Structure formats: structure tokens, C-alpha cells
Structure 1
């Protein structure tokens, strides 16, 4: 008897995404190191730059034509952009990718048409945003590791039930006596209880959050559409458990029919 399971497919997806996020995190680390080595321009107030006052970011006018932000854009293009989810189709511009990964204000300040200087304030804002994105990537990687571990645990329970069903089906019900039929019915009931337990554990897992810091956390439930958007089901574990429960119920009905005839 075949029982559709999405667990192994989900495991593969979780592992591949862990690798992608690890590469993104490393890209942010490389970008941060490169920007840290850049010397900001000590410019007078008449030269453009990104400044912060009272919690509000301002972009001042610039009378010069220097492009002090070019090394920052180059560092971003060579490190973060190749791993940007928003840039997979290679249709968006570099500044659009910067806007997606950072903020509108930083993208505007780094634009060559803005002619902004790479001021100390701008440098710190870029570094702060990059560190924040790196922390988020670390939290996401940890959440994916927990997802894979949970898939392993749920998969082991499901595989055991499926293996029992496959083995039990090797013996026709007509070859079993009343006591053996009753035992099979009871075992199927136990398997249904185990399926319910796996489903409860999964729901509890989805309600949790993986944190990397005070500002970086990933709600497990939010991983589902992100991870499994290309799947035919939204929740691989719950869908598998639901189908397995239906299979056990069907087997029980068949066994009960035989029990009634033997009574």
C-alpha cells in the first residue's frame, strides 16, 4: 500500500536553503569587512552625505562631482547581490537590489546620480544595516536547522508506521484469526494516536520562534510559505500525517468488516 509522504522532499528543501542562507551570511560578512576598510570622506557641510538628526535621516546637497560611494556599490555587487533572493532573475538594477536588501535612504545615498559623499555617518548606517541583515540570516539559518531536525523526528515516526502497514499487508486478512484481527485493529488505533501526537508536536513547533538576538528572530510558521511555496501542499508534515491517518482509518474499517463476519 503506497502512502504519499512529503517529508523527504521537505528535508531536501530545508538542507538546500540552509546552504543558500549560509552563503548569504558569509557574503554579508565579506561586505562588512570590505566597507570597514574604506576610509570615509571628511567633507565640509556643503558636500552631500547621509546624516541623522533626531532619528530622521537626511540627504544634504552636494556641490562636488566625486563618487565616493562607488567602492561601496562595487563591494555590494561583488558580495551580496549574487545571493540576493530579489535578484535571482537578474532583471533589477543594482540600486534596486540595494533598496531591497537595505533601505530606500541608503540606496538613494549610494546612487551615482545623487553625488553623495561617503561620510562617516553613511558608513556607519551601511554597516549597521548590513550587520542587521547578517543577524537575520543567522537566525534564519538556525530556524532552518531546527526545521530539518523536526522533519527528521516526524519522518522517523511516520516511516515506522508506513513500514508496519506495508509489512502487515503481506498477510491477507483472510489468513488471520479473530484474535489476530483484533490485535491488528488495536495496532492501527495506536498508529492513529501516534499520528495525532506528531500533528500536535508539529503545531507546537510552528508556534515557536528561533532568535539570534533581541532584534533578529524567525517565527517557525512564517517559514512554511517561504520554504514550501513550490510544493503541492502548504504543510508537508501535517499533510503527510493527515493522509496516513486516513490510511489507518481505511485499514481499520476493513479489519472491522472481517471481525464482524467472524463474530
Structure 2
């Protein structure tokens, strides 16, 4: 009796997401390093005095130069991991707004008459560090999900392999004792499926957090991860289906036992 399971596909999906989050976590770290290396614009640049020209503005880069450097740093580090497609037409400042904040995006915009002040630098670094902390929590949550899925797949593989192997022998060829043992084995496999469902429900009710401000609700994580799956909860759906298969097999064995008595 073939049984369609979704756990292996769920493992592949969680693994791919973990790789993506790892890459984004590293990209945010690189972005922070590049912004930290930039010197902010002086708050009130001192005028330069010359004998021939008198007083003139302080020399140096135009106010937008360092803001442009921040935008370029973001484009070269974080943005490729923030959009689904590297060729995505989403404007850079819109991506900066979604990852850091709209106020930072406005402050960094070339149309904004603002310099890369010490305050703006602190804002950018602080927002990026906070975003990186969120990705760190996501990494931990995905690691826990992958561990749970690995354990679930072991149970699923054990039960499905047992069912497939026993299907090779018709019940009519089994004696009373063999039927009784098969009935007991099926009861044990049903309990494995029930235990898998209980463990999964317990996991879904939990969270992975770093602080009171940063946390990942497991149920929300699962909803996000498996949004395009044919079932909302691949582990629970698989456990329920396997349990039903074992129950059907057990009823068939019980019918044969009753006839033998």
C-alpha cells in the first residue's frame, strides 16, 4: 500500500531556507563592516580661509558621496539576499526601507539634502545589527526545525518500510500466531505515528527567541516555509495518513484473526 509522505520535501525546503538565511546573515555582517569603515561627515564643517579667495566652504567630498557609498555597500551585500531575483526591478531605496527602515532609506536618498552624519551612521549600523540579530534567531529556529524533521523522517521511514515489506505477504498465507504478531506490530506503529503527531504539536506551540524583542513563533515559521506545499502541515499530515494506513491494516488483520478462532 503506497503512502505519500511530505517530510523529505519539507527537509529540503528547510535546508534551502537555512542556506539563504546563512548567506543573508553574512551579508549583513559585511554591510555593517563597510559602513563602520566610513567616516561620517562633520556636523559643522569649518570654512577654509585663503589669501586670494577669502572664505570658502571646507574641501572634501560632496555631502552625498558617503550616503552613496552606503547605498552601494547595501546593494553589493544585503540586497541580493533580500529580493527573490537578483534582477528584481524593486528600487534599491525600497529594499533599504524594508530591511532597515523607511526613515533610513529617506536619509540615504540622493534627493535628500542630508549628509552622512555621525547620527545617521549610528542609525544605519544599529538597524543593520538588529536585522542581523533577527536572522540569527531565524537560523536557530530553522536548525531546530531541521532536527525535528530528521527525527520525523526516521519514524516515517521505519513505518513505511515495515508496511511495504509486510504487503508482500498476503494475510491468507499467515498462521494465527503470525497474524497476532502483525496485529501487535501495527499497534506499535500506530503509537509511533501518534507520538510523532504529539511531538510535532508540542514543537509548533513553542518559539525560538534571543530576547523579549526578537523571537520566532514556530507555527508562523512552518506556515511560511510550507506555503506552497499541497498540505499546510507536512509532518502532521504524514503522521495522520500513516496512522490511518496502519489502522486499516490492523482491521484487516483482526478480521482474519476472528475467522481463525
Q: TM-score, normalised by structure 2?
A: 0.89
Q: Name the structure 2 match of 1:26.
A: 26
Task: Report SS of the residue matched to 2:41.
Answer: coil
Tell me what 1:60 maps to.
none
Greater Cα offset, 144-153 or 161-170: 161-170
Q: Is 1:10 matched with 2:25?
A: no
Deviation at 1:85, TM superposition (A): 3.8
Q: What CA distance in whole angstroms lies between the structure 2 residues aligned with 1:214 and 1:29?
A: 23
1:211 CA displacement: 2.2
Assess, with a 3 A threshold, how the Cα gap between structure 1 residues 66 and 186 changes in structure 2: closer, same or farther. closer
SS at match of 1:69: helix
CA distance in structure 1 between the aligned counterparts of 2:122 and 2:162, rounded to whole angstroms: 60
The answer on whether the counterparts of 2:41 and 2:116 sit within 8 Å (CA) in structure 1 is: yes
Match for residue 170 of structure 2 among 169, 172, 177: 172
**2:153 pairs with one of 149, 155, 165:** 155
Hey, what does 1:40 align to over in structure 2? 40
Deviation at 1:182, TM superposition (A): 2.0
CA gap 1:18/1:105 in 2 versus in 1, 3 angstroms: same
1:1-43 Cα deviation digits (max 9, x unpaired): 2111111111111111111111000000000000000011112
Whether the 8 Å CA contact 2:75–2:92 is kept in 1: the answer is yes
- 1:118 is paired with a residue whose SS is coil
Alpha-carbon distance, 1:180 to partner: 1.8
CA–CA distance in structure 2, aligned partners of residues 37 and 86 of structure 1: 29
- Contact 2:7-2:153 within 8 A present in 1 as well: yes
The separation in 2 between residues aligned to 1:142 and 1:42, in whole angstroms, is 40
Offset from partner CA, 1:232-253 (integer Å, 9 cap, x none):
1111110110110111111112
SS in 1 for 2:137: helix
Compute the displacement of 1:148 (Å): 0.7
Gaps of 5+ in 1: 46-63
Larger Rg: 2
Aligned to 2:198: 200
Deviations 1:76-105 (A, max 9, x none): 011000110466660210011011111111
Residues 73 and 110, structure 1, Cα contact 8 Å, conserved in 2: yes
| Superposition TM-score, scaled by structure 1 size | 0.88
Residue 259 (1) aligns with residue 231 (2) = no
Cα displacement (A) at 1:179: 2.4
